Every structure is written in structure tokens, then in C-alpha cells.
Chain A
Amino acid sequence: MCYHTTINGTRWTFHDLKTLLAKASPARSGDVLAGVAAQSAIERVAAQMALADLPLKTFLNIDLVPYEEDEVSRLIHDSHDLTAFEPVSHLTVGGFREWLLDTRTTTSHLAALAPGLTPEMAAAVSKIMRAQDLIVVAAKCSVITAFRNTIGLAGRLSTRLQPNHPTDDSRGIAASLLDGLLFGVGDAVIGVNPATDSLQDYVRIVSLLDNVRERLEVPTQTCCLGHVTTAIQAINLGAPVDLVFQSIAGSEKANRGFGISLSLLAEANDAALSLARGTVGRNVMYFETGQGSALSADAHFGIDQQTMEARAYAIARRFKPLLVNTVVGFIGPEYLYNGKEITRAGLEDHFCGKLLGVPMGCDVCYTNHAEADQDDMDALLTLLTAAGVTFVIAVPGADDVMLNYQSLAFHDILYVRQTLGRRCAPEFEDWLQRTGLADVDGRLLEKAASGAIGPAIALIETMEA
């Protein structure tokens, strides 16, 4: 099946659907690396024009990765809800964009539509949307999840506190954790990326986080971001596991590179649910994704990286996660070269996730070999918050001393709350007020912090390394 468009008498041909999608993608280094990007600016627009004329239904008849070979394709196909798809089934991709933007299309329409959309439909429409389109539509989406607090309510922005340490030193982790709590950060999750993937360290880290959370009575959840198999082993040992974490990607082959499958994720989900540790909800999974992960595992099947990324969200929504985030600037300049590409990708990932019904957050971040800096991160944070991002990640002073990249600083969270008025999860906000860290408007109070801090520091100083 070929796709065509004619511009000023020149006929542009795209010989299959994945070529059309790839050439219609806004420019980024990863698609050039994969050899699938448009060869010229005009070819890109030609592809976008042909894509805009494509009936949305087309995606129900063509699996980009063969159904027989790929369990992600099977999941997408088999879980598609035709009834939910009905309101937009007659539209082209271009018509769908206008339907999404229409002010008569409301939050409840979008929530009802989500199970009727495939990741490829979301990716396709995003490719012909400007940044402001991605923002205004995502801001209409509502995805609410809960564990010990409620994430994703209107007017809220949650945060992951990421107190990483180069050698997983318990006191070092606790020190960064306390620093973040005093900034009111950590309502989405307090989550540590471990330096090793040993079971022993995993159990020590979740026990440490749980201990601090209980002692300070923080209504939030904790997580050690080890491998899912380690989490299952830890649960079997009786460790206090709130959320099970896993990196996921958009094809079975890419997931095999991560050492996972859908059945393994189901096993982990069941194990975490069996602990029944949530107090206000039962969403127990936490997933990370990122454009380029399928290509880096040579598991992209000639498909552009943004479409592959959206396919990962089909896996995420299958397991009703508490949190999902793209690690947008982490994977490196060979996939997203500079601040402009990182910004675009962050908005696309958030939009596609939300449209598909996923509680989408973002690690607003960059590495030192990307052409990006703090100004780019300020811009992306501001744009994502306008788009209603579920949560963002923050570390002390924007410097992750374990993973060696820059995420947001705790300060940046205060900035965006002050500027755009977003508040943290209500249960967490109550805790901040109860402990005297914040006033009734959610503003941090310095006076209270100095009183509350002594016992917490004493606790950390008596810990073992």
C-alpha cells in the first residue's frame, strides 16, 4: 500500500505506513541514525500532508510490527475497544487533530476515547500537531491514580524525589531525601535508582525508604528502581515494596533486551498487589520509557522512535500503573540532539501518554554531551506544567550524582508552583500543613522547617552506611 501527496505538480510517494510515519516526524537525530528520517524539509511536510489525509481506521488494519512476531502488537490489537473508537472512526488523522482541539471535545470525551485509540493513532496525530496543540489537548486529559495519595487531580503537579547516591550509602540517600522533603517534593514517589542490581541492596534501600517514610508519617509511596525480577524476589522475602518499577519499550524484542516480557510484568503486578500496601488506591506499577530505547536495542523494525515510544504506553496502560515517565533527555544526543528536540519529544511523549490514558510524567533532563542547558529545562518544565503533566522528577541542585546527568532541582519545583500555581497531591499537602512545612495555600514556611529538622537529622546520623 503506497501513500501519495502532490505539491506544485511534484508527486511524493511513501511506500508503506511506517515510512509515512517516519518521514512525517519532526526532525530528530535518532531517526537520522536509524536511516528513516525525511531527506528534506519539503519531504517532511509532504509526508505530514499525506498523513493528515489518512483515515484513522487504517491503523486497525496494519500492524507496524507483525502481529505473529510481537506480543506488543498482539496486546495493542487484541485490547482495542471498537465501541470507544466509534466517535472518531470516520475521521482522517487531520480531522482527528481538529476534533481533539475542538472546545466541545471535553475531558470526559477524551477519557472515554482512550481505550479506542492505538499508540500508532496517537503518534500519527502528534506528528501534525504544534507544541501548543500538544499542550492544549493534553491539558484536557485527566488520568487519576492512587496509592497512599491521589495523583493527577486537576490543578495539581506531583513530583518524584530522586535521592540517588553513587554507592547507595543509606545516610547519603536519607540526606538527599530530607533535603527534598523540606522543599515539599516527593508526593508522586520517593524513588532511588540503585547503583547495583543486587537483591541485598534492593531490600536495604526499600527498607530504608519505608522506615523514613513511616517515621515522618509521609503520605507517599517509595520505590527502588531495580529490575522487576529483583523486585519479585524482594517481595517474596517480605520486603516493604510499595511500587514495582520497570523500564519498558515498544517491541517484544526491545523488552527482551530489558530482560522482561508481558507475563513477567503481570507476575510482578500480582506480587505487588498481594501486599495490599496502598491506603487510598491500588495502582502499584511504575514504568519508565524514552524515545530511542528500541533503536538502541536494534529492535525498532524500521519504525520511527516516537511511534515506538508510544507503543510502550500500550504496555503501561495494561497494568494500570500509578506513574509512568519518559526519561526524555537521558538517552543521549544520538536520539535527541539538542534542547529543541528534547523539548518537542517531551511534549509528544506526554501528549501520547495522556491521550492513551496513562498517568504520564516526565524526567525533564539532559546529559552533558547533548546541546542543552538549564534554560532548555526551564522551558520544558514550564510547557509541561501548562500541559498538565502528572509529575516531574527532582534531585538536589539538578545534579544526579549517581546517573551523572541533570534533572530538575528541588528549587525548580518551587519555581513552577509559584509561577503556574500547581499544587501537590491533596494528602501530601495536608501533611505539609500538619508538619508546619507549608501554609494553607501550599507555600513553604521556613520557620517550621528549622524546628522539624533536628529529629530527622538525628535519625540519619544514627543510621548505618
Chain B
Amino acid sequence: MMPDEPPDRNNQLAVTDKLARLRRFTPARIALGRAGSGQLTATGLRFMLDHARARDAVHAALDFDTIGQSLRERDWSVVHVQSTAADRAEYLRRPDLGRRLSPAGRLAIDGQQRGSDVAIVAADGLSASAIEINLLPLVDQLRRLLLAQGLTMGPLVLVGQGRVAVGDEIGELLGAKLAVVLIGERPGLSAADSLGAYITWRPRVGMMDSSRNCISNIRPAGLSPEDAAAQIVGVVELAFKHATTGVRLNDLRGTEAISAVGPRE
């Protein structure tokens, strides 16, 4: 700051203070103040920290052994499989490989009992922490609500390096009427632990994303796992009633409460 400019400096602080009153209306980074044209040091470093968290969430490996163990302790039947993407670098570059099961994965699922109503699939996706934090409370509540509807469930399938569409192949192999895929969403700066739920009627390989419904932003500080379970089961109920999901289900309902998935996964 130039020595002859203190009045402007003070005014800038006054502007920031007044604008700060508007922070209660938005999580956006408003009223940051500035140093010349740049950001204040603390603000800039805070941004770097949030980006670092998001980057680490993308690259962290999900501890499948621990999560599988916890699920089995809660009486879940668990199958752990991999997609055909070998590692994270390949997963990021080749979404097509994350959509298909490895040969060993196909074999493991082929050995399971077929013909349940709902296949539940949990994939690391782009955030391991989303699964670590949200999966257990979500699936426990989901099981309660689905059973109350009289719906049967197959084993819970855990997928490493999985994309949403891997649930199509799993659901098809299990002969399920509907698949619920729970997957770590692309981390944002404000939340790196957000889970998405994708619901697909009559899952089979090669389905369009427009044939799914999505419930997003499932995390403790967003849509709580328990509330998300209720919303998922609400969509599942409708899907069974109308025998469809995605854009067609939305058209039948004429509502915005559930959103279909756009072309950009």
C-alpha cells in the first residue's frame, strides 16, 4: 500500500464490512476485500486449502476392507469388485473403463443370487471420503425403508474405480428390477464429501444417462444421509409404480422434485 493512500484503504475495509452483511444469503466467497488487484493473503491461502482438500479427496484410495467389514457387522452381504480401470490416472482419463466390470468382478457377481427387486451399488467415484462418511448411515436407513415397502435387496456391491453406469452391468447380472448407485461426487471447494444417488429402472449395459434420476449433495452439512434415504425410496416407489425412471418418470410426474441426469455426467 502506498503511504499516501490510507483513506482508500479505510474505505475498502468499510465496503467489505458492509458487504459482509450479505454473507448470510450465500455460501459464495463475497466481501473478500483485496490487496491492490489481488486477494488478501489469508483469503488466498484459505482457497488453496479448500482446493488441496478437494484434490486429496479425488486421489485418496477408499479403504474397501474397512468399509466392507463395517457393513458385514451390520448384517449386509457384501461383494467387492473392480471396474476395468486399473488405477486413478486411468480412471480419470477413461470414463468408459470405469463403467464396466473387470472379468473377476463379473465372475464374483455371477455367483450371487439373482432376481431381487433392488440392487444397491456403492462406488468410490471421485470422492472416497463421500463413501467413508455417508455410506453406512445411508444404507442402514435405505434398507429399513425398502423392507417396509416389501422390496427385496441383493448383496451390496462395492466397486473400486467405478462410474455411475457400472451399476447397469451389475444390476443386469443380478437380474434386479432397479439399481441404486451411491457414488462419490466430484468434490467442490466447499464440500469434498458429497455423495450422489442414481436410480435406474431395469438396469442394463448401454443405458442413457437421461434414463436415470439423481439425488445429489448427500453429506452431513447438505442433504443428510437419513433424509436422502427417504428421498431415494420415494423415487424407487414411483419407479415401481410407473415402471420407468429418468426423463420419462419426470414427464409422468410433471415435477421438479427429482432431476434427470444431463449429458455431462
- Which residue numbers of A lie inside 8 Å of B, CB to CB? 29, 32-33, 163-166, 169, 171-176, 178-179, 182, 196-198, 257-258, 293, 296-297, 331-334, 337, 367-369, 373-374, 395-399, 401, 404-406, 409, 411, 414-415, 417-418, 445-447, 449-450, 453-454, 457, 460-461
Contact = CB atoms under 8 A, between A and B. Distances in A.
B58 A179 contact: no
B66 interface: no
Contacts of B18: 450, 453-454, 457
16 contacts: A164-B28, A166-B217, A171-B26, A296-B263, A296-B265, A333-B92, A337-B93, A374-B48, A397-B29, A399-B29, A401-B28, A404-B188, A409-B39, A411-B34, A453-B18, A457-B18
B26 A165 contact: yes
Nearest to B26: A172
B58 A369 contact: yes
Interface stretch (B8-16, B151-159, B225-233): B8-16
Interface of B: 7-9, 11-12, 14-15, 18-19, 21-23, 25-32, 34, 36-39, 43, 47-48, 50-51, 54-55, 57-58, 92-96, 126, 186-190, 192, 217, 256, 259, 263-265
Contacts of A368: 51, 54-55, 57-58, 186-189, 192
A367 B127 CA distance: 13
Given A415-B37, A457-B19, A398 B190 contact: no
Contacts of B50: 399
Contacts of B12: 446, 449
Given A169-B25, A411-B34, A334 B15 contact: no
Given A297-B263, A395-B28, A32 B15 contact: no
A196 B256 contact: yes
B43 A414 contact: no
Given A33-B96, A258-B263, A369-B126, A450 B188 contact: no
A86 B22 CA distance: 58
Given A401-B27, A415-B38, A406 B15 contact: no
A409 B43 CA distance: 12
A197 B26 CA distance: 20
A178 B22 contact: yes
A29 B188 contact: no
Nearest to B17: A450
A247 to B, nearest CB: 9
Contacts of A397: 28-30, 32, 39, 43, 47
A6 to B, nearest CB: 32
A253 B75 CA distance: 47
B48 to A, nearest CB: 8
B247 to A, nearest CB: 10
Contacts of B27: 166, 401
B19 A178 contact: yes
B33 to A, nearest CB: 10
Nearest to B222: A166
Given A165-B28, A396-B29, A369 B22 contact: no
Nearest to A373: B51
Interface centre among A176, A369, A461 (most CB of B within 10 A): A369
Contacts of B264: 293, 296, 331-332
A174 B26 CA distance: 9
A127 to B, nearest CB: 21
Given A165-B26, A296-B263, 18 more contacts: A33-B96, A174-B25, A175-B30, A182-B19, A197-B256, A334-B92, A369-B58, A397-B29, A398-B47, A401-B26, A404-B188, A404-B190, A405-B188, A411-B38, A446-B8, A446-B12, A453-B18, A457-B19
A374 B38 CA distance: 13
Contact of B28 (A293, A396, A411): A396
Contacts of A401: 26-28, 188, 190
Contact of A449 (B11, B37, B186, B189): B11
B211 to A, nearest CB: 13
Contacts of B57: 368
Given A198-B256, A296-B264, A373-B51, A449 B15 contact: yes
Which 6 pairs show the lowest CB-CB distances between chains A and B? A397-B29, A404-B188, A172-B26, A414-B37, A175-B22, A368-B54
A171 B94 CA distance: 40
B37 to A, nearest CB: 4
A411 B16 CA distance: 14
Given A33-B94, A396-B28, A447 B7 contact: yes
B47 A179 contact: no
Contacts of A29: 93
B26 A411 contact: no
Contacts of A297: 263
Interface centre among A171, A397, A417, A447 (most CB of B within 10 A): A397
A334 B8 CA distance: 46
